[in-house]
Amino acid sequence: MEESNALGVFSYRDEEYEVYVQPVVEVDIQGGYTIRSGEALLRYRMRHETPLTRIRAAQQDGSIHEITTAVVSAIVASFTDVPNAVPIACNVSAPEITQEFIDRIRAIQHELHRTHHDSHLLMFELSEEHAITEEHIQHIQQLHAMGVPLALDDYGTGFANVETLRLLYGAGVPVRVKLDITLAQDHTIVDVARMLKREFDADLVAEGVTEAQIPLLREIAYFQSFVTGRAMPLSEWCERMRSMV
């Protein structure tokens, strides 16, 4: 792994990558947007494409922690000169959350606190690609006890389902739930969102919404979509956040 002087840029196995951030926004009744957090997304730097094949290969050969570490390092570096930083989430799969991973995050939190930054700015989204087992729960509980905000990504796909939510909430781990709006009809999404609010009182994020869908969910969800804010390079994200002071 080789880091660049440019914020959010690093090289891994002969490819150059760049961290992007997409805003998660609250929409008010007048249609105004307020950025509440962001999600870190990885792109090939020159092609601006998501390196899904490379990420899956890294998950299979066990080297995904190197990519995750580079993304986390970029996120943390971005907090240092943004006075009004909002939380940024990094995607992580349940098998990645080992004791070594937890110790690394604890050290990052201590450093953020030492430099007078909010140690809760670093978030993690649990990916839908792996089942969360009782063994994973013990480590996830440690992250929660450390005050690390957590989310369940792409609810309605893979292992991101109501059974996983019941396992997490039963273990005392509340999570933000990210709904993949593209998978269902409008009335179905509204029903699912209301059920999640009723059963778990979860913070909800509706991903991939159209302009027409926003009024349906505005009172119960945040939004993450091209229509509410495109993903941008981490350096551009920092400039935008500084301009909002």
Show me where the domains of the chain are located. Answer: 2-243
State yes or no: pLDDT of 209 exceeds 80. yes
What is this structure's pTM? 0.93
Average pLDDT on 159-178 reads 95
More confident residue, 60 or 77: 77
Average pLDDT on 114-126 reads 91
Confidence band, pLDDT 50/70/90 cuts, at residue 101:
very high
State yes or no: pLDDT of 245 exceeds 90. no
Q: What angle do CA 150, 153, 159 make, to 5 degrees?
A: 110
Q: What pLDDT, on a 0 to 100 scale, did the predictor assign at position 145?
A: 97
Q: What pLDDT, on a 0 to 100 scale, did the predictor assign at position 59?
A: 81
**Cα 22 to Cα 95, 217, 236, distances in angstroms:** 25, 19, 11
The CATH classification number of 2-243 equals: 3.20.20.450
Q: What pLDDT, on a 0 to 100 scale, did the predictor assign at position 230?
A: 96
Work out the burial of residue 38: count CB atoms within 10 Å of its CB; fewer than 13 is exposed, 13-18 middle, 19 or more buried.
Answer: buried
Q: What pLDDT, on a 0 to 100 scale, did the predictor assign at position 184?
A: 63
Q: What pLDDT, on a 0 to 100 scale, did the predictor assign at position 4?
A: 64
Q: Where are the alpha helices (DSSP H) in the chain?
A: 52-61, 64-79, 99-114, 134-145, 162-170, 186-200, 214-217, 234-243
Work out the burial of residue 40: count CB atoms within 10 Å of its CB; fewer than 13 is exposed, 13-18 middle, 19 or more buried.
Answer: buried
